[in-house]
Amino acid sequence: MEIIKDIALMRTRCRERKLKGDKIGFVPTMGALHKGHLSLIKRAREDCDFTVVSIFVNPTQFGPEEDFKRYPRNLSEDLRLCEEEGVDVVFAPLKESMYPDGFSTWVEVKGMLTETLEGTFRPGHFKGVTTVLTKLFNIVLPDYSYFGEKDYQQAMVVKKMVQELNIDTEIILLPTVRERDGLACSSRNSYLSPEERKKAAVLYNSLLKAKQEVERGEKDPSIITSLIRHLIEKEGSFKIDYVAVVNPDTLEPVDRIRGKTLITIAAWIGGTRLIDNILI
């Protein structure tokens, strides 16, 4: 496994493989790898001839009050996991080379898709995501790029960007990987105290209960969001950013549940913000 920090060298490697006709699989991450990331890497390894994992805590997708500084970083353990999974290259560029002084080019998806849900609570977040991913796609030249359903809205935004900018990669979206009690794997779970960690399971459990209610015939989204809010609030310690029942393609709120629907939540427990969702 090769570890590359240099942008030009990373591209040279990828160009060489493209010329050979190899398919490049790409898993962009911010490190602190967990089972969710590993499922993306395993799939990339199956689909492709050459697997690149990027590890870059992207400053531009964090708000000024957010957790950029304390975001978990554990490069040596990440490298060990990548090696174990048979990754070909870990790309770990420096902040200064990704965003040199005077950097001022931005890629932005405008409209509902980036303004709703996470966009409301994390203004500027998606602009940072789309900009860094455009850069990474241009460096790695991936045939396939892998994302997890936990960040469902991000995946929708990235798909729209890739389509509208004609970026030559296919976005593959894989199911959320969960801990035994249902909590969605996330690098931010490491912020949780043991007590918070126990309580955090309520997020997915409330989504499962909501799903059951829908399957039992409940079609009113406001009943469903009330149920979820009630279950989370009963647990104490949570501050809910949103609970929403939306069209999974447009992320617009639905006024009646029929066909494919996404239920998505974001909530704080102590100083940790968690998100989760379920497709029904």
Q: Which residues are catalytic?
A: 37
For residues 265 and 228, give the distance between their C-alpha atoms in angstroms, rounded to a whole number.
9
Of residues 154-173, those binding its own copies (CB under 8 A) = 160-161, 164-168
User: Across the strands, what pairs with 243?
Assistant: 265
Least separation in angstroms between residue 151's CB and its own copies is: 18
DSSP reduced 3-state for 175:
coil
DSSP reduced 3-state for 101:
coil
Contact 219, 261 (CB under 8 A): no
For residues 37 and 96, give the distance between their C-alpha atoms in angstroms, rounded to a whole number.
25
Nearest to 279 by CA among 233, 248, 255, 256: 248
Q: Which of 101, 105, 215, 216: binder of its own copies (CB under 8 A)?
A: 105
Considering beta carbons, is residue 130 or 272 the nearer one to its own copies? 130
Q: Which of 9, 92, 107, 155: binder of its own copies (CB under 8 A)?
A: 107
Segment contacting its own copies by CB under 8 A, of 12-20, 23-31, 171-179, 252-260 = 12-20
Amino acid at 218: E
Nearest to 66 by CA among 203, 268, 252, 232: 268
Least separation in angstroms between residue 50's CB and its own copies is: 15
With contacts defined by CB under 8 A, how many residues of the chain interact with its own copies?
32
Least separation in angstroms between residue 123's CB and its own copies is: 16
Least separation in angstroms between residue 207's CB and its own copies is: 29
Of residues 117-156, those binding its own copies (CB under 8 A) = 130-131, 134-135, 138-139, 141
User: Across the strands, what pairs with 170?
Assistant: 144
Give the DSSP H or E segment for 129.
helix 125-140
Site string for its own copies, 45-84 (x = CB under 8 A): ----------------------------------------
Considering beta carbons, is residue 113 or 232 the nearer one to its own copies? 113
Amino acid at 87: V
Nearest-10 crossing angle of helices 125-140, 7-19: 50
Q: Does 101 bind its own copies (CB under 8 A)?
A: no
Q: Classify residue 203 as exposed, middle or buried by CB count within 10 Å of its CB (0-12, 13-18, 19+).
A: buried
Q: Which of 3, 7, 173, 223: binder of its own copies (CB under 8 A)?
A: 7
Considering beta carbons, is residue 160 or 211 the nearer one to its own copies? 160
Which residues here bind its own copies, judged by CB under 8 A? Answer: 7, 11, 15, 18-19, 21, 100, 102-111, 113, 130-131, 134-135, 138-139, 141, 160-161, 164-168
